[in-house]
Chains A and B, each alone.
Chain A
Amino acid sequence: MKTTVNITINGESYEETIPNRMLLVDFIREVAVQTGTHVGCTYEGVCGACTIQLDGEAVKSCLMLAVQADGHEIKTVEGLATNGELTPLQTAFNEHHALQCGYCTPGILMNMDEFLKKNPNPTEDEIRHGLVGNLCRCTGYAHIVDAVKDAAGK
């Protein structure tokens, strides 16, 4: 079964006819070829590497079908910077060495970008709890927490 959907990704609309069972993350990576969004678990919604924003809300794109995103606006990590200018969060990740392999990073950025909009002045504890939906294996999280703290309010 196929359906024609219209999904806007980073401001560009994609009208495509796709199998109904296609996961949103596969639509983003393989149909729209925006490969910044990653897959780290077996589509179980635990690792958070596939986190994107759907109408401004951070969601895990492996837990949605692409057809469910029909008519919605999606922002991925490729859409964070505007005209080449990085967001304070992206800059803070570099400043604080908040990434090593970078595989989990896009999902963390998309989650924390939304988190800081909802909570512009978080405590360390709030940041750490805000990150539980994202697994990172390299950094031990401390530098990520530092980066989010630094980007808050900027």
Chain B
Amino acid sequence: MAEKTSGKGWVGVDFKRKEDHRLTTGKGAFFGDISEPGMLYLVFVRAERAHAIIKNIDTSKAKALPGVVTVVTGADIKDEIRSMPQKVVVPALPARYPTHWPLAMEKVKFHGEAVAAVVARDKYTAEDAAELVEVTYEKDLPFVANAAMALAPGAPKVHDEWEDNQIFANVFTGGDTVEGQEENARKVDKIIKGAHAVIKETFRVHRCGMTPMEPRGALAKWDESDGLVAYVTTQRPHIDRLALADILDIPTEKVRVIAPRDQGGGFGVKAPFYREPILVCHLARQLGRPVKWQETRNEHLMVVSHERDQTHTVELAADKDGKFLALRTDGTCDCGDGCEGVYWGYLMSWLGGILFTNSYDLPNCDIRLRVAVTNKSALSPARSFGSYPTRFAIERAVDMMARKLGLDAGDVRRKNIIAELPHTTCTGAYYDSGDYLKVWDTLNEHLNVPKFRAEQKKALAEGRYIGIGFGTGVECSGMASEILVPMENQPGYGAASVRLDPRGKALVSFGDAAQGQGHETTISQVAAHEFGIHPDDIIVREGDTETTPFGSGTIGARTGSYIMSGVSTACRVLKDKMALIMAHDLALDAKPEDFEFVDGEIIYGKDSNIRKTFGEMAERIIMAPVNLPEGVEGGLEHTAFFEAPTRMMCFSIHAAFVEVTPETGQFKINRFVTCEDLGTLINPQIVEGQVQGGVVQGLSNAMFEQVVYDENGQCLTADFENYKLATAADMPNVEVTHSTTKCPHTPLGQRGLGEGIPGPVPGALSNAVCDALSPFGIEITELPLRPNMVWRLLQEAKQKQAAD
């Protein structure tokens, strides 16, 4: 008999995570823990130049080292494997897709690009041999250092076969034709010219990313009859499988990709189809021996975990009451060399453009973006995918407008937050449901802003500078096929298989791959809630392409919205079957909805004395499939492919409270409060964990992390000494609150949340610092937000005040 829940079930319960026992006792099963008999170790030799023609690669000394099995260069593999791009990892968007292989061909395009690979019997020998590979370069080509330089006429080219360095450009507003876009542009221009108030500013967010604690890795083995088995640190094993099959010309039935059960964080970084696993798999097949590559932190910080890097010039127009009239933005993104399957460095900025207006009602916009390739590593996805820079820009613009009009920034925000849903933005984004103003009001009840304003006034009289700032974020709660097909050429459905055993225990499987989200716990809760059994009676498995239904990957908060809904749907199909058979067995004239599944029993609603245990019905249907209703088969297993009737979005607002020391520019976050509407909470504690972690990532990006290249394109931040992540001592405790409206499009009323949490952070933080320093009138327009920048802005403001 299952543990009693008094009929309440398992949704909304802080069920303690099933993953934790193994992870707190050293029994996790991470990529680094996997080994195969006879395994060889692969180490990449990476470019020490940013942009240079390769003259020669001398591998003789490396090959001569005892223990080395092989050393390969680009020339060795060019005719053996197909080049990228391959269709399965190319979005259906009009962009340029650079031809590339796992190793550099004639020239290197960024500091850190792989130029050769050493395979040896142990990893120390492989590292030694990599040091012995001598790469000589013809000459250094000019370092294409940023988007402005890359897009200037006559700029040196990153990809020689292209006409210029523009990988992608888009006008997000005015429809699909140039005429429509220009007509829209004229309309927006007229509104801006006639508006009571306009602010114009250029906002920039630097290159930084997510940097999971576990770097990447791939381990492949080959068997002539079974084919390829590859363990890859990945958020999307099924996509990797198809891409590997295509690129290595292996029939798909002979390719199996397994994402390790435990992955040490992903946050988007493990979502692309990268170059390195291709070579690992190719060499495992060629050598007939298992080959393992474990990325070092140094490689990781040079090659991946770079995102953001966008600059937008923003014009926002409003009437005298602060009601927004129009928005015009013109932006660029420096996407690195763009050689990266699925995202190609540019796709994040595309979504950032689509969601530029964020939570604000702005029907008249002209939004433009150009993305350039440069001599840096390709941008790879990070939480708040492409939107972190555009959110910073719009939220700062809102506060600047409020200041220009002499209005309270909170009042201006409330006046412009979308009041009625559903809502279609000027870029065509569809916001389905919820109550955004209720989120605003709920958050403000927690904050008590009038009290804070009084304290602020008092503090100022004492020479102390405290401030409050807001940021908002509308994030995709999973992606419907109608978005994901054009965006990534992949389905958006949430496919889940549910199989019951004769004792009434369930196995739930799906094709995505967790990296710490606690899927085993929350998915168990959903299935337990549906079946009325205990979460411990449920096993959750994912990540292995051989045993799971197709999934596009753990991306964009889609587990909560799509996968869980697939699980609910599959469970309900099985419940209906069980109810149907129970009614048949008991000769009841009943419909499936007449039965309740609660606390281990199936109860007839019209007469609660009529009941059977869940396990007994499972046993009867699986083990004794006789005397079944006509047309009904035995067995209890179903795969559902959940697709919501519309796209779904989730909404959050963040508030930051800071105190700034004007003498030094240092600031302290005194309080950070969030409020979001994700509908039904499946596990509130896990939700809070997602918010705490996402906010700290957003703060860490805003305050500390920054990828720095020198004037020659050398990456100077390829270790944790130089690429600083937030530590416990740097960070506040986040107060997490909720404002709940059920999502009408999912079986349990939940929305997926998590992906976009860092997005509102930079706006909230920088608005708070500007609010604290409002007597000086400083405006923060770029990140990272560090004391030296605040101090510099203060000096400029003081000089200006003195001059006035």
Contacts and interface: CB of A to CB of B under 8 A. Distances in A.
Interface in A134-148: 134-145
B693 A40 contact: no
Interface in B26-76: 26-28, 30, 32-33
- Is the contact region of chain A dominated by helix, strand, or loop, or is it mixed? loop
A94 interface: yes
A145 B733 CA distance: 9
Nearest to A136: B213
Nearest to A94: B20
Nearest to A133: B727
Contact of A140 (B14, B20, B734): B734
Candidate in A39, A78, A127, A129 with the most chain B CB atoms within 10 angstroms = A39
B210 interface: yes
Contacts of A101: 212-214, 262-265, 515-516
B673 to A, nearest CB: 13
B388 to A, nearest CB: 16
Contacts of A129: 728-729
B617 interface: no
A139 B721 CA distance: 21
Interface stretch (B274-282, B285-293, B681-689): B681-689
Candidate in B20, B296, B516 with the most chain A CB atoms within 10 angstroms = B20
A51 B696 CA distance: 23
Given A97-B686, A102-B264, A144-B728, A41 B719 contact: yes
A34 B725 CA distance: 28
A49 interface: yes
A34 B719 contact: no
Given A94-B21, A137-B265, A140-B693, A106 B212 contact: no
A93 B24 contact: yes
B596 to A, nearest CB: 31
Given A103-B213, A145-B733, A140 B694 contact: yes
A38 B24 CA distance: 12
A19 B125 CA distance: 12
A99 interface: yes
A36 B25 contact: yes
A78 B697 contact: no
Candidate in A40, A97, A141 with the most chain B CB atoms within 10 angstroms = A97
B517 A100 contact: yes
B727 A132 contact: yes
Nearest to B683: A97
A99 B515 CA distance: 12
Interface string A81-121: 10000100010011101011111111001000000000000
A75 B426 CA distance: 59
A19 B124 CA distance: 10
A38 B264 contact: yes
A139 B693 contact: yes
Candidate in B17, B26, B263, B265 with the most chain A CB atoms within 10 angstroms = B26
A12 B689 CA distance: 37
B1 to A, nearest CB: 25
Nearest to A106: B26
A78 to B, nearest CB: 4
The 7 closest A-B pairs by CB, nearest first: A36-B26, A101-B516, A103-B264, A102-B23, A140-B696, A140-B692, A131-B728
Interface of B: 14, 16-17, 19-28, 30, 32-33, 124, 210-215, 262-265, 267, 296-298, 515-518, 685-686, 688-689, 692-697, 719-721, 725, 727-729, 731, 733-734
Interface of A: 19, 21-22, 29, 34-42, 44, 46-47, 49, 76-78, 80-81, 86, 90, 93-95, 97, 99-106, 109, 127-129, 131-132, 134-145
Given A35-B33, A101-B263, A137-B697, 4 more contacts: A21-B124, A40-B214, A106-B24, A144-B728
8 contacts: A100-B516, A101-B214, A102-B19, A105-B24, A131-B727, A132-B728, A137-B210, A142-B731
